[in-house]
């Protein structure tokens, strides 16, 4: 089965998701267990792929669907970089699937089965976007990710339905623009295979049609990754999403489109062409605006979830300016921040969900004394907050460090100033959280789901919170190894010349 590991990353959760409702009808929890087991299988398959591509010296693993050779057939192309991201997504999916159990415990079979069906399909869409080697196949997985995401957001309650509908309208525009961009590129090159496209598009990188395609991709992916000013759907979606899955949505749903944009910019298009140079300048400007405005908006929030939603707008700005730098360190910083931010933001939303589950409270000014009631959760929040600010030895420091090096190497000193200012703004609103948790007097909160144990929450919720907190430190200590041993093995050709 090892030779089929690439396709098993998406095939296992896809099959389980399609069967989930049937088995949930037989026994309420059976379908959810099957989906969780399939995600575990997908994670092990992703680890198998990562081990093979790393031990082979970074050689890309090409898996042909149905044995049809590209460019006619569809392939999955796994290099060290997207193999790491596949491991990341399946691991976080596995943690959040376990974490979600208490939130659906009292629901009937229809709600439990529907929830885990959508959850499995979201995992399929994210993984498929990351590992596919075909432009149209990426669109298919983008739609799977989006449709399942709309459903999971809508499950959060009455307000979430409006948030999901808004995301549906705006997200449809983004997906349509991406599809339009594919059409322009196919008209120029006559191929949909990414590797083939990289060779055939070279004569056309200065044409107007290519420029239009680039604009479609930046706007389309910008909407999906909540890049400023295309982020209008995101604050409500993150705030009102189902609390069981909000961590997965916030941690990973914007990262797959961000990686897709990196793949197009650095692996398919000529990053040094005049059209791409102009496009990256625009991307950098949007990233800078997002970093500053997102941070300022986050400071004005009192709802914990909404504050983190605007914080994500700022963090996507970090990734955008890393891509826009167009040099090795900027590229490494952007990729590393995708990985680190997934852990940081997932950790924070896991804790928020835990507080909401136990107390029904998400107001920042009602968290006093929480360190005594939910010790593990408050420690994880502290680690995640310090990492978001960029303090060593947490992982957030290292991605910001590489972004600083990228700005310095490219003599783009304005980016350094913005990175410093944004980090200071992060410190203001994240230290406010730490102050509330550890210093302010204990708030009188009514327990909705009382938990008498020392952990403060059910074990299935505490374990993912603990693991993600440890992950923030582990990624910090091993960031250099991740960069040198994995990311640099899968560098684009533009940095190898």
The b-or-e profile of 46-79 (16+ CB within 10 A means b, else e) is bbbbbebbbeeebebbebbbeeeebbeebbbbbb
Residue 492 near residue 345, CB atoms below 8 Å: no
**Ranges 52-56, 230-234, 258-262, most confident:** 258-262
Q: Average pLDDT, stretch 233-251?
A: 86
How many domains does one find in the chain? 1
Name 484's Cβ contacts closer than 8 Å, sequence gap at least 6. none
Q: Average pLDDT, stretch 329-335?
A: 87
pLDDT reported for residue 14: 93
Q: Average pLDDT, stretch 224-245?
A: 85
> Omega of the bond prior to 393 within 30 degrees of 0, cis?
yes
What is the rounded distance in angstroms from the CA atom of residue 365 to the CA atom of residue 451?
Answer: 22
pLDDT of 145 above 60: yes
User: Mind giving me the DSSP string for 326-355?
Assistant: -SHHHHHHHHHHHHHHHHHHHHHHHHHHHH
State the pLDDT confidence band at 442, using cuts at 50, 70 and 90: low
Residue 418 near residue 407, CB atoms below 8 Å: no
Burial class of residue 365 (count of CB atoms within 10 Å of its CB; 0-12, 13-18, 19+): exposed
Higher pLDDT, 202 or 403: 403
pLDDT of 286 above 70: yes
pLDDT of 452 above 70: no
Could you tell me the residue range of the domain that residue 209 belongs to? 2-495
pLDDT of 301 above 60: yes
Closest CA to 257 of 424, 445, 130: 130
What is the rounded distance in angstroms from the CA atom of residue 45 to the CA atom of residue 49?
Answer: 6
Q: Rg of the chain over CA atoms, in angstroms?
A: 21
Q: Average pLDDT, stretch 70-74?
A: 78
Question: What are the backbone angles phi and psi of residue 241, rounded to the nearest 5°?
Answer: -60, 160
pLDDT reported for residue 454: 60
pTM to 2 decimals? 0.91
Residue 299 near residue 429, CB atoms below 8 Å: yes
Q: Average pLDDT, stretch 39-49?
A: 92
pLDDT reported for residue 6: 87
What is the rounded distance in angstroms from the CA atom of residue 398 to the CA atom of residue 171?
Answer: 32
State the pLDDT confidence band at 124, using cuts at 50, 70 and 90: very high
pLDDT reported for residue 484: 65
Q: Is 326 left (phi over 0), alpha (psi -120 to 50) or beta?
A: left
Closest CA to 167 of 233, 122, 219: 233
Q: To which H or E segment does residue 61 belong?
A: strand 61-64
**pLDDT over 70, % of the chain:** 95
Q: Average pLDDT, stretch 367-374?
A: 74
Residue 222 near residue 230, CB atoms below 8 Å: yes
pLDDT in tens, 206-227: 888 888 989 999 999 999 988 8
What is the rounded distance in angstroms from the CA atom of residue 214 to the CA atom of residue 212?
Answer: 5
pLDDT of 120 above 80: yes
First to last CA, the chain: 37
pLDDT of 122 above 90: yes
User: Mind giving me the DSSP string for 112-162?
Assistant: HHHHHHHHHHHHHHHHHHHHB-BHHHHHHHHHHHHHHHHHHHHTT-HHHHH
What is the rounded distance in angstroms from the CA atom of residue 151 to the CA atom of residue 24?
Answer: 18
Q: Average pLDDT, stretch 133-150?
A: 90
pLDDT reported for residue 89: 93
pLDDT reported for residue 449: 65
pLDDT of 32 above 70: yes
Residue 77 has, within 13 A of its CA and on its CB side, a CA count of 20
State the pLDDT confidence band at 119, using cuts at 50, 70 and 90: very high
State the pLDDT confidence band at 177, using cuts at 50, 70 and 90: very high
pLDDT of 460 above 60: yes
Higher pLDDT, 455 or 395: 395
Higher pLDDT, 284 or 486: 284
pLDDT reported for residue 450: 67
Distances (CA, A) of 497 to 410, 411, 491, 494: 17, 21, 11, 6
List the structure tokens of 358: 């136990």
State the pLDDT confidence band at 180, using cuts at 50, 70 and 90: very high
CA 374 remoteness from chain centre: 26
What is the rounded distance in angstroms from the CA atom of residue 316 to the CA atom of residue 323?
Answer: 11
Distances (CA, A) of 159 to 165, 166, 343, 436: 10, 11, 27, 27
Mean pLDDT over each residue of the chain, to the nearest integer? 85
Residue 246 has, within 13 A of its CA and on its CB side, a CA count of 34
pLDDT reported for residue 495: 64
- Other Cβ atoms less than 10 A from the Cβ of 208: the count is 10
To 10 degrees, the CA torsion angle through 143, 145, 150, 156?
170
pLDDT reported for residue 197: 87
């Amino acid at each position: 089965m090892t030779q089929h590991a690439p396709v098993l990353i998406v095939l296992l959760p896809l099959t389980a998701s399609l069967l989930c409702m049937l088995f949930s009808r037989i026994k309420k929890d059976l379908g959810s267990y099957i989906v969780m087991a399939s995600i575990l299988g997908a994670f092990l398959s992703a680890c198998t792929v990562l081990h093979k591509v790393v031990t082979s010296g970074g050689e890309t693993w090409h898996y042909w669907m149905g044995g049809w050779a590209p460019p006619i057939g569809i392939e999955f192309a796994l290099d060290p970089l997207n193999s790491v991201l596949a491991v990341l997504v399946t691991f976080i999916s596995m943690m959040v699937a376990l974490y979600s159990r208490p939130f659906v415990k009292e629901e009937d079979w229809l709600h439990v089965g529907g929830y885990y069906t959508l959850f499995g399909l979201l995992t399929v869409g994210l993984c498929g976007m990351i590992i596919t080697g075909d432009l149209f196949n990426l669109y298919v997985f983008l739609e799977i990710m989006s449709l399942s995401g709309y459903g999971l957001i809508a499950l959060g309650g009455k307000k979430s339905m409006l948030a999901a509908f808004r995301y549906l309208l705006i997200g449809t525009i983004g997906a349509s623009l991406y599809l339009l961009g594919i059409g322009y590129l196919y008209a120029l090159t006559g191929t949909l295979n990414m590797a083939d496209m990289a060779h055939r598009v070279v004569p056309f990188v200065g044409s107007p049609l290519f420029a239009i395609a680039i604009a479609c991709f930046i706007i389309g992916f910008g909407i999906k990754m909540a890049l400023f000013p295309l982020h209008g759907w995101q604050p409500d979606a993150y705030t009102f999403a189902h609390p069981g899955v909000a961590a997965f949505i916030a941690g990973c749903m914007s990262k797959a489109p961000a990686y897709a944009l990196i793949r197009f910019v650095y692996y398919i298009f000529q990053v040094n062409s005049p059209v791409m140079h102009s496009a990256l300048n625009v991307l950098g400007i949007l990233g800078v605006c997002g970093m500053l405005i997102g941070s300022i908006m986050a400071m004005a929030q009192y709802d914990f979830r909404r504050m983190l939603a605007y914080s994500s707008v700022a963090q996507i700005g970090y990734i955008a300016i890393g891509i826009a730098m167009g040099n090795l360190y900027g590229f490494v910083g952007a990729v590393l921040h995708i990985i680190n931010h997934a852990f940081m933001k997932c950790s924070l939303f896991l804790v928020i969900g835990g507080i909401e589950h136990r107390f029904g409270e998400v107001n920042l000014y009602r968290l006093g004394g929480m360190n005594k009631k939910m010790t593990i959760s408050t420690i994880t929040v502290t680690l995640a907050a310090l990492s978001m600010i960029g303090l060593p030895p947490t992982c957030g420091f290292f991605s910001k460090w590489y972004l600083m090096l990228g700005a310095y190497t490219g003599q783009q000193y304005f980016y350094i100033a913005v990175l410093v200012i944004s980090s200071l703004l992060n410190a203001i609103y994240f230290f406010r959280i730490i102050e509330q948790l550890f210093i302010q007097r204990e708030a009188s909160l009514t327990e909705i789901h009382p938990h008498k144990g020392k952990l403060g929450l059910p074990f299935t919720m505490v374990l993912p919170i603990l693991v993600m907190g440890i992950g923030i430190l582990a990624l910090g200590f091993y960031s250099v190894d991740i960069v040198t041993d994995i990311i640099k093995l899968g560098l684009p050709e533009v940095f190898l010349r």
